[in-house]
Chain A
Amino acid sequence: MVSQAKSHHKLIVLLVIGSVGMFGFGFALVPLYNVLCDKLGINGKTQNTASSYQAMTIDTDRTVTVEFIAQVQTGMPWAFAPKLKRLKVHPGELIRTAFLASNHADRRIVGQAVPSVSPGQGAAYFHKTECFCFNQQPLAAKADAELPLIFYVDPDLPESIHTLTLSYTLYDITDKQASDALEQGAAK
């Protein structure tokens, strides 16, 4: 019977380790999914650093439609829209366009745009050499701004994709930014 207590003990320890391990696994799923989506380029996330553009042959035989969508987080007092809703581009061509943002509130607000490309598989072929989404966008009360975007479509874009839709959602991160600043201040 002493041996029974021992075998209980061993099993319990294993099972508790299993549960704790699965709790950790739940959190590990976050980076796991991110890495997986990144590698396979499947969730429409574009890279959040600028790509460089080397002169390349422009595939003038092919035309890809690029559409722009802009959205603002519910309740955020900004107007936000693409300057042009739709563009026809050739793969390899460097294109410059812009989005327009205006702050309707009586206070300074910091915005952060989060991009997403649809269809998701196209995201890896959409390269931005300059984008306002790489930085935070502070706008003073009642101020307007033109937010530039420079991009090109990779000539390797799969033949099956004819249209790429780039969507930006703008979030109000004023509070977050303030608390980050406080934390950084405290750290110093």
Chain B
Amino acid sequence: MNTLTRELNSVAEPADQTQLHEEDHHHHQAPKGIWRWLLTTNHKDIGTLYLWFSFIMFLTGGTMAMVIRAELFQPGLQLVEPNFFNQMTTVHGLVMVFGAVMPAFTGLANWLIPMMIGAPDMALPRMNNWSFWILPFAFTILLSSLFMEGGGPNFGWTFYAPLSTSFSPDSTALFVFSIHIMGISSIMGAINVIVTIVNLRAPGMNWMKLPLFVWTWLITAFLLIAVMPVLAGAVTMVLTDKYFGTSFFEAAGGGDPVMFQHIFWFFGHPEVYIMILPSFGIISAIVPTFSRKKLFGYSSMVYATASIAILSFLVWAHHMFTTGMPVFAELFFMYCTMLIAVPTGVKIFNWVTTMWRGSISFETPMLFAVAFIILFTIGGFSGLMLAITPADFQYHDTYFVVAHFHYVLVTGAIFSIMAAAYYWLPKWTGHMYDERLGRIHFWCSVISVNVLFFPMHFLGLAGMPRRIPDYAIQFADVNQIVSIGGFAFGLSQLIFLAVVLKCIRGGEKAPAKPWEGADGLEWTLPSPAPYHSFSTPPEIK
């Protein structure tokens, strides 16, 4: 509580202009080099840190995916031990979810929300610093457990009990602590976002004028506060079951392993929406810009986002259709799941209608946005197939599920993050990125990602189980194609790194508003955006 109160004083400071100048002054003499980044409370610095951290995690998790695909290139065991293979699938999932996607969104929130609502900074800058800097520790702990005796977590990113309790490696405590830290970081980030949006909007920026990225993030932040603590509870129960003799999930002691799944998915399903709602905001910013039209159906977008968030609490057991639930529960969760497709469909409809008869141009951000709309929809359809209870008995725990969630997460969440990076890079760096390289990156990515994930649908329908290091011989050809797609997709991301580095180091000077069709307060600031966004609140017409 003490840090919080100090926080308040620091926010109250910019009250009068002289003090603000003093603070500015202070910043000019602020420590340089590593200390600048360690001690920074500036939303743009912290946004940058989050984004780079996310990219490093993306490459780390990607490397693990390459190990997985190399092992699966042929049937039989070639490269790695089955136990190490399991560690790769587990840590790949954890790193991508908690290290790549979520921090990327938090980074974007840091950079963009203050600029979009006309605020000078985030509301709680010191907490902001903390919420970023505990993340590298969390992931150091998690990744270091891979090198311990007995290995790192090998029970899948969903850490089902009793795999994560009775049968887990000795390093499981480290996994638990790392999840605790990640959770605390996310919750602090979410609190910051909510306080910023509620209290720091420029005068006249009323709720129904908020850019959709801000809206979707506000709702995401509430989801985070609702479910990250439940995840923390779940890992805590795993910890005490494993080390302190409790029996939450231990049948021998009167507990229930299926209960783990209920608690986990109560977190897990809202979590997947945490990873997609901000994408909806990004796409809703980019599509109108490059269609040179206003977004179709702004208010329906807001309501759709809110209803997706509420419904996401009522569908968790669609991950558990095969656990032997009574028929009425199977039906309830099936219908609720299908109901979510309705507001999602509203969004797709609005984006397509925004493009309809627009004068569209296909710069890289728009390419990624259009690919998002098409490929995310494919992921939504495979989700609907999985939602059909009797069908799920066949598809569950096969590669069909793997195909589904990679379509929604890679060509959904990750593609939207790429789109956002290209769209706002000129604002961040003051330079235009290399459009030609950007398009090469896009086409390499979009082709390879489909070679990688589309055939997985067929593998799953044909019955290939997920999370196995070896497989039956009839799956060999398709797995080879998938692996080639995987290597190509991994390599393509190095082009993205090249584009970003090149853009930071130089390039054509970017005007304040590099995209003629763009709309929003961030484009009224010069490029690169000044260290302090809006010292005096802008006027909203």
A positions within 8 Å CB-CB of B: 1-2, 4-5, 7-9, 11-12, 15-16, 18-27, 29-30, 33-34, 40, 42-45, 73, 112, 114, 118-121, 169, 171-173, 176, 179
**Which one of A1, A16, A22 lies within 8 Å of B15 (CB-CB)?**
A1
A19-B187, A25-B229, A29-B266 are contacts. A114–B251 as well, Cβ < 8 Å? yes
**Per-residue interface assignment for chain B, residues 224 to 267, with 1 indicating a CB less than 8 Å from any chain A CB and 0 otherwise:** 01111111111001000000010010011110101100110011
Query: Does B329 count as interface, using CB distance less than 8 angstroms?
Result: yes
A23-B230, A114-B251 are contacts. A12–B12 as well, Cβ < 8 Å? no
Minimum CB–CB distance for B243 against chain A, Å: 13
Contact A176 B195 (CB under 8 A): no
Contact B252 A25 (CB under 8 A): no
Contact B11 A4 (CB under 8 A): yes
**Per-residue interface assignment for chain B, residues 116 to 147, with 1 indicating a CB less than 8 Å from any chain A CB and 0 otherwise:** 00000001100000000000000000000000
Query: Does B325 count as interface, using CB distance less than 8 angstroms?
Result: yes
Contact B229 A22 (CB under 8 A): yes
Contact B230 A25 (CB under 8 A): yes
List 25 A–B pairs whose Cβ atoms lie within 8 Å, in order of A's numbering.
A1-B14, A2-B15, A4-B11, A5-B12, A7-B199, A8-B123, A8-B124, A8-B199, A11-B199, A15-B194, A16-B191, A19-B228, A22-B227, A23-B230, A26-B229, A26-B234, A26-B263, A27-B237, A30-B263, A33-B256, A34-B259, A114-B252, A176-B245, A176-B252, A179-B245
Query: Does B326 count as interface, using CB distance less than 8 angstroms?
Result: yes
Contact B229 A19 (CB under 8 A): yes
Chain B residues with CB under 8 Å of A173's CB are: 252-253
Contact A22 B225 (CB under 8 A): yes
Chain B residues with CB under 8 Å of A43's CB are: 256, 258
**Which one of A15, A24, A29, A121 lies within 8 Å of B263 (CB-CB)?**
A29
B231 — nearest CB in chain A belongs to which residue? A26
Query: Does B4 count as interface, using CB distance less than 8 angstroms?
Result: yes
**Which one of A1, A12, A120 lies within 8 Å of B326 (CB-CB)?**
A120
**Which one of A12, A24, A30, A169 lies within 8 Å of B124 (CB-CB)?**
A12
Query: Does B8 count as interface, using CB distance less than 8 angstroms?
Result: yes
Minimum CB–CB distance for A24 against chain B, Å: 8
Contact A18 B225 (CB under 8 A): yes
Query: Does B359 count as interface, using CB distance less than 8 angstroms?
Result: no
Chain B residues with CB under 8 Å of A9's CB are: 4-5, 8
Minimum CB–CB distance for A20 against chain B, Å: 7
Contact B199 A15 (CB under 8 A): no
Chain A residues with CB under 8 Å of B234's CB are: 26
A4-B11, A112-B252, A120-B326 are contacts. A22–B230 as well, Cβ < 8 Å? yes
Q: For the A-B complex with A7-B199, A9-B4, A25-B229 known, give 7 more contacts whose Cβ atoms are closer than 8 Å.
A: A5-B12, A12-B195, A19-B187, A25-B230, A29-B230, A29-B259, A120-B325
What secondary structure prevails in chain A residues at the interface with B? helix
Q: Complex Cα distance A179/B228, Å?
A: 34
**Which one of A19, A29, A44 lies within 8 Å of B225 (CB-CB)?**
A19
Query: Does B198 count as interface, using CB distance less than 8 angstroms?
Result: yes
What secondary structure prevails in chain B residues at the interface with A? helix
Contact A15 B245 (CB under 8 A): no
A4-B12, A19-B229, A173-B253 are contacts. A12–B4 as well, Cβ < 8 Å? yes
Query: Does B9 count as interface, using CB distance less than 8 angstroms?
Result: yes
B positions within 8 Å CB-CB of A: 4-5, 7-9, 11-12, 14-15, 123-124, 187, 190-191, 194-195, 198-199, 225-234, 237, 245, 248, 251-254, 256, 258-259, 262-263, 266-267, 324-326, 329
Contact B324 A120 (CB under 8 A): yes
Contact A42 B195 (CB under 8 A): no
Chain A residues with CB under 8 Å of B198's CB are: 7, 11
| Closest 7 A/B residue pairs (Cβ) | A26-B233, A171-B252, A1-B15, A23-B229, A22-B229, A26-B230, A5-B12
Q: Complex Cα distance A2/B199, Å?
A: 12
Q: Complex Cα distance A26/B262, Å?
A: 10
**Which one of B15, B190, B259 lies within 8 Å of A30 (CB-CB)?**
B259
Most buried by B among A12, A44, A172: A12
Q: Complex Cα distance A42/B329, Å?
A: 10
A43-B256, A169-B251, A176-B245 are contacts. A15–B230 as well, Cβ < 8 Å? no
Chain B residues with CB under 8 Å of A16's CB are: 191
B194 — nearest CB in chain A belongs to which residue? A15
Chain B residues with CB under 8 Å of A5's CB are: 8-9, 11-12
Contact A15 B191 (CB under 8 A): yes
Q: Complex Cα distance A23/B12, Å?
A: 31
Chain B residues with CB under 8 Å of A29's CB are: 230, 233, 259, 262-263, 266
**Which one of A11, A114, A119, A176 lies within 8 Å of B194 (CB-CB)?**
A11
Q: Complex Cα distance A75/B527, Å?
A: 65
Q: Complex Cα distance A156/B541, Å?
A: 71
Q: Complex Cα distance A44/B34, Å?
A: 59
Minimum CB–CB distance for A29 against chain B, Å: 5
Contact A42 B123 (CB under 8 A): no
Chain B residues with CB under 8 Å of A24's CB are: 233
Q: Complex Cα distance A179/B229, Å?
A: 31
Contact B12 A1 (CB under 8 A): yes
Chain A residues with CB under 8 Å of B14's CB are: 1
Chain B residues with CB under 8 Å of A114's CB are: 251-252, 254
Q: Complex Cα distance A20/B124, Å?
A: 19
Chain A residues with CB under 8 Å of B324's CB are: 44, 118-120
Q: Complex Cα distance A33/B199, Å?
A: 38
Contact A23 B232 (CB under 8 A): yes
Chain A residues with CB under 8 Å of B254's CB are: 114
Chain B residues with CB under 8 Å of A26's CB are: 229-234, 263, 266-267
Minimum CB–CB distance for A21 against chain B, Å: 8
Q: Complex Cα distance A120/B329, Å?
A: 12
A169 — nearest CB in chain B belongs to which residue? B251
Q: Complex Cα distance A107/B214, Å?
A: 65
Chain B residues with CB under 8 Å of A7's CB are: 198-199
